[in-house]
Homo-oligomer: A and B are copies of this chain.
Amino acid sequence: MLAGAPKFRRRKADRPGEIVQAALQVFSEKGFAAARLDEIAARAGVSKGALYLYFETKEDLFRAVVEQAIAPNIQAVRAMIAAHPGPFADLLRLVPERIAGLLETLPVGGVVKMVIGEAGNFPELARVWHDRLVAQALGAMTDAVAAAQARGEVKPGDPRTYAMQLIAPLLVGVIWRETFVPVGAAAFDVAAVARQHVETMLGGMLAEGARS
């Protein structure tokens, strides 16, 4: 490093980001009400007062956490929506595994727990999650199923229900990891679940003539 390089200096670059990170941890462990600002501040490595330099209230911080946790997932959903329009079986074999990958990468587990647990106290956050993320993803899947049905690839049946059937085990796998694994339950390998589930579902969804 050259002379004149920034010496040891307090990085104030991404204080808000660090705080949101810490808050995500604590909120998803404890829920909104049981989370203490002391602990969030301590994990972020700042004083309690510093939180108020960036967020007006505890609720404000909570909202920031939940909302910013949507962003990376939206990218993923967009990518999925833009997926190639090949045969339905190909699409299906691709998508759930991709989702499984995301679920293991992003800290989505904790956030899902928070959204479910606090939906009653923060309905507007449940709405944001639904409108911007969940409904988008479910809608994209539904459209793909309906298109495949129109092409005669998929048996009759409610396409939105088909879409939900496809996603549900992945979601349950994540919730399971958050809820029961910490108390000793065996985890589900979400990727493995995805593979087996796609094959099973394909077996039940594909029309006779479309069998690979």
Interface on A for B, CB 8 Å cutoff?
Answer: 28-34, 113-121, 123-124, 126-127, 130, 134-135, 155, 157-158, 160-162, 164-165, 167-169, 171-173, 175-176, 178-180, 182-186, 188, 192-193, 196-197, 199-205
Quick check: B165 and A169 within 8 Å, CB to CB?
yes
30 A–B contacts, CB within 8 A, in A order: A31-B33, A33-B33, A113-B116, A115-B179, A116-B116, A116-B117, A116-B175, A117-B118, A119-B179, A120-B182, A126-B180, A126-B183, A127-B183, A127-B184, A130-B183, A130-B184, A155-B203, A157-B196, A157-B199, A157-B200, A158-B196, A161-B169, A161-B192, A164-B172, A164-B193, A168-B171, A169-B169, A200-B205, A203-B203, A204-B205
Quick check: B193 and A204 within 8 Å, CB to CB?
no
- CB neighbours (8 Å) of A162 from chain B are 196, 200
A144 to chain B, nearest CB (A): 16
Copies in the complex: 4
Chain B residue, CB-CB nearest to A180: B130
Quick check: A182 and B119 within 8 Å, CB to CB?
yes
A126 to chain B, nearest CB (A): 5
State the CA gap A30–B187 with chains docked (Å): 28
